[in-house]
Structure 1
Amino acid sequence: MLRSTAFNDHDLLPGRFSREGGNVSPPLEWSQVPDSAEELILFVEDPDAGKNPFLHWLVTGISPHSNGVDEGGVPLGGREWPNGFGATGWGGPHPPQHEDPHRYFFRLYALERPLELPEAPGVPDVRRALSDKEIASGTVVGTFYR
């Protein structure tokens, strides 16, 4: 199970998490990680960003014994990767102005073996790498518009 103390599932993300409003990652909590998990990964994408989903955050190598991450933090043991903006770490929501709200899918995956990724993975690379390693997952969705 994945949740945040800063927003409810399918609710508006507070502005401090957006690219313009502070660009800080939200706090997240998780539970019910299978005992057989070797690592967790956190993957945040915006599927409403056009033809290709936009990668906002990718963290691999998270300890399966962890139970969350503080606001603006990095999960225990985690390695942050480049986001769709070209910077490493969290890249907050920044949809075009006057569009309908975009959805931001926060996904936590428990893996039976470590993920192997190219140096600058995109959303399709992550999905391919997950295809045969996932043993459990949780999702919480936030929305945002400008």
Structure 2
Amino acid sequence: MLLKSPSFEAGDTIPTRYTCDGENVNPALELNDIPPDTRSLALIMDDPDAPAGTWTHWLVWDIAPGTNIAEKSEAGTMGINDFGTTNYQGPCPPIGIHRYFFRVYALDTTLELPTGSTREELLKAMEYHVIGSGELMGLYSHAS
């Protein structure tokens, strides 16, 4: 699967608009080469460089196959992130440059987890149902 964004190239800096220094809205994401047997998609955005370990910024599932995720949207059911909210929370590193991974998973089922489910609950529900995946990584640090 191919995951890309019209807002930034893989490996480039995520524009301020999509961070805590800007409007803090999700970037648009384009999904291509989705496996034909896909019933739903799930998305996890996280920061593996956070001081306390991997920090989850965004969880979404039961996204319809063939859906491109629009900027500032709710494309599916939202889970609770490590900020304690059920919406997108953009990059906001305490220090230095961090990597932010957007990962999309093609699933052979719909999950029907309730809004506010945790990352662990999402990963458990996805177990044995992932038939494809794609990844987009962007960088961000606070302006000095």
TM-score normalised by L of structure 1: 0.87
| Contact 2:31–2:66 (CA under 8 A) maintained in structure 1 | no
Give the drift of 1:125.
4.2
**Residue 69 of structure 2 corresponds to which residue in structure 1?**
69
**Residue 3 of structure 1 corresponds to which residue in structure 2?**
4
Unaligned runs of 5+ in 2: none
**Residue 59 of structure 1 corresponds to which residue in structure 2?**
60
- Greater shift, 130-139 or 8-17, is seen at 130-139
Residues 77-98 of structure 1 show CA distances to partners (whole Å, capped at 9, x for unaligned) of x1112221112110111110xx
DSSP-derived class of the 1:7 partner:
coil
The structure-2 alpha-carbon separation of the partners of 1:91 and 1:40, relative to structure 1 and needing over 3 Å to count, comes to same
Say whether 1:142 aligns with 2:143: no
**Residue 110 of structure 2 corresponds to which residue in structure 1?**
114
User: What letter corresponds to residue 53 of structure 2 in structure 1?
Assistant: N
The structure-2 alpha-carbon separation of the partners of 1:48 and 1:129, relative to structure 1 and needing over 3 Å to count, comes to farther
Give the drift of 1:116.
6.5
TM-score normalised by L of structure 2: 0.88
Unaligned runs of 5+ in 1: none
Equivalent of 1:105 in 101, 111, 115? 101
Residues 48-89 of structure 1 show CA distances to partners (whole Å, capped at 9, x for unaligned) of 1134311111111100132x11211122xx111222111211
The structure-2 alpha-carbon separation of the partners of 1:25 and 1:48, relative to structure 1 and needing over 3 Å to count, comes to same
CA–CA distance in 1 between the matches of 2:58 and 2:123? 14
CA–CA distance in 2 between the matches of 1:64 and 1:57? 19
* RMSD of aligned residue pairs (Cα, Å): 1.8
CA–CA distance in 2 between the matches of 1:129 and 1:8? 31
Equivalent of 2:126 in 101, 123, 130? 130
**Residue 14 of structure 1 corresponds to which residue in structure 2?**
15
Give the drift of 1:131.
3.1
**Residue 93 of structure 1 corresponds to which residue in structure 2?**
91
Equivalent of 1:80 in 73, 78, 81? 78
User: What letter corresponds to residue 72 of structure 2 in structure 1?
Assistant: G
- Greater shift, 43-52 or 108-117, is seen at 108-117
